[in-house]
Structure 1
Amino acid sequence: MPALLIGSISALVDTSEIQRGSFNEAFAQHGLDWNWERDDYRNLLTSNGGKQRIADFAKEQNEDVDADAVHATKSSIFQKHLANAGIKTRPGIIDAIRAAKGRGWEVGLVTTTADDNITALLDGLDELSRDDFDVVTDVTSVQESKPAGAVYEYAVEQLGEQAGECVAIEDNVGGVRAATAAGIPVVAFPNENTAGHDFGSTPVTHHVDFDELASMAAGH
């Protein structure tokens, strides 16, 4: 059977601004005179991985920073905000998941974020739980993070599926590259801070429609 693969927690809920605010709070807690404005953050989101963004930014600023520690603080702050933010799922995503299940598809959450972030997000939602997914990946699932295709390859293997019979939804360029590297048809579903990014020839949607996704899976 085919599978619908959701490529990030921000494809489920637009957490981008919560993330940015959490980074800035973490910087302040670590005594860093950094503040990522929205335009700065939009540019930073062309690469994947918050920890790497911190390390790269520190290098640009010629500062010696413990990126692991700052990122751990940011993650803790982010998880607390998720619990209190009254988060809502993005347009069409719940209907698409339900339609996929109703059609006999498997559904995966294919991300390389920390499992604590996934738990915090799902705990903040009434409409979704971990049980709605046939596979959930996290930062420990594979050694190579996106934009490498390893996590998608892992998810497809866990599901016992064929890459061409799956379809992925991704909110950022690195995620799109990861799905493409794994041979999986993908739709870009940009969040409020990746909406201006160049997704090339990848189809872009702002409201997920299951029938459109199903037409992309081989033979369906």
Structure 2
Amino acid sequence: MNKLETVFWDLDGTIADTELFGHRIAFNKAFSSHSLDWHWSKKEYIDLLVYPGGKNRISQYSRIKGLDLSKSLINEIHSTKTNYYKELVISGSIQNRTGVNRLINELMDKRIQQYIVTSSSHKSAETLINSSFDSHRYPFDGLISSDIVNTVKPDPESYLKAIELSGSLPKNCLAIEDSLEGLTAAKSAGLRCLVSLSPWIKEPSSSFFSAELVVDHLGDYNKPNKFFSGSYKASTINFQLLSSLLN
């Protein structure tokens, strides 16, 4: 029987609802600051999420618009965006998703290692983590961001690095993701994966069903989750269920 030792958490969309009400707003402010006549609607931004990483998203969108932005300008825009995002996070306008705090605390009590594995920059990720979690009871053993890998998700590099840092074998680890790109990265690294769907996905495509479990959120005592696919059902995701997904 495989024993759960380590849980890898995606950040944006998995731990917190950051995409539409954090990153998107910060991007739009950055575009205005750099005199770009761009404004990403919710629908546009959701469509652009197929391109992992903020700099990549700017680059891809510039091509769609028939522009050829230099790498240095993309970096400047992204840096401005990161500063705006930091302001939004510090203001307290971004909340953790249902069940996240409960499960993280339970895993801490069980002495399970927890790592953040994200396609965001280290600065953006650290700002959100430090704003969302008490420094006196800090739950994470490490952070793998886009700054320390060559290729972000859906490439498995970030997860392979996380596995190495954790010292655990893949069979003793579980990833928690919200997107198809994250699921693909986790599976390509040999990991079992639970998907807590992005809030705007109401009915997942069959592409998600390679995950060990697919739910709409992690569930809480007064807010049970909705089950879509998997071998186990539970109204709230807990340590016992995560352990079951490894066997």
Does the CA contact (< 8 Å) of 1:42 and 1:194 recur in 2? no
Displacement after TM superposition at 1:88 (Å)? 2.5
Alignment of 1:122-137 (within 5 A): 122-127=129-134, 131-137=138-144
Matched, 1:112 2:115: no
Matched, 1:200 2:228: no
**Which stretch of the first structure deviates more once superposed, 120-129 or 30-39?**
120-129
Matched, 1:11 2:17: no
**Which stretch of the first structure deviates more once superposed, 3-12 or 18-27?**
3-12
**What is the SS of the residue equivalent to 2:146?**
coil
Alignment of 1:173-212 (within 5 A): 173-193=180-200, 198=205, 199-201=207-209, 202=211, 203-208=213-218, 209-210=237-238, 211-212=240-241
Point out where structure 2 has 5 or more consecutive residues left out of the alignment: 219-236
Partner AA of 1:44 in structure 2: L
Does the CA contact (< 8 Å) of 2:113 and 2:141 recur in 1? yes
CA distance in 2, matches of 1:214, 1:128: 27
Which deviations, in whole Å up to 9, do the C-alpha atoms of 1:71-117 show, x marking residues without a partner? 11111111111111343221111121122222232111112322211
Q: TM-score, normalised by structure 2?
A: 0.81
1:46 pairs, out of 42, 46, 50, with 50
Displacement after TM superposition at 1:59 (Å)? 0.7
Does the CA contact (< 8 Å) of 1:2 and 1:217 recur in 2? no
Displacement after TM superposition at 1:129 (Å)? 7.0
Does the CA contact (< 8 Å) of 2:88 and 2:94 recur in 1? no
**What is the SS of the residue equivalent to 2:175?**
strand
Does the CA contact (< 8 Å) of 1:172 and 1:194 recur in 2? no
Q: TM-score, normalised by structure 1?
A: 0.90
Larger RCO of the pair (alpha carbons < 8 Å, separation 6+): 1
RMSD: 2.0
Show the counterpart of 1:149: 156
CA distance in 2, matches of 1:82, 1:172: 22
Partner AA of 2:145 in structure 1: D
Does the CA contact (< 8 Å) of 1:87 and 1:124 recur in 2? no
Show the counterpart of 1:59: 63
**What is the SS of the residue equivalent to 2:8?**
strand
* Alignment CA distance shift 1:197-1:16 (3 Å): farther
Does the CA contact (< 8 Å) of 1:149 and 1:181 recur in 2? yes
Point out where structure 1 has 5 or more consecutive residues left out of the alignment: none
Does the CA contact (< 8 Å) of 2:11 and 2:125 recur in 1? no
CA distance in 2, matches of 1:15, 1:130: 22
**What is the SS of the residue equivalent to 2:208?**
coil
CA distance in 1, matches of 2:40, 2:200: 12
Displacement after TM superposition at 1:173 (Å)? 1.6
Displacement after TM superposition at 1:67 (Å)? 1.8
Displacement after TM superposition at 1:212 (Å)? 2.6
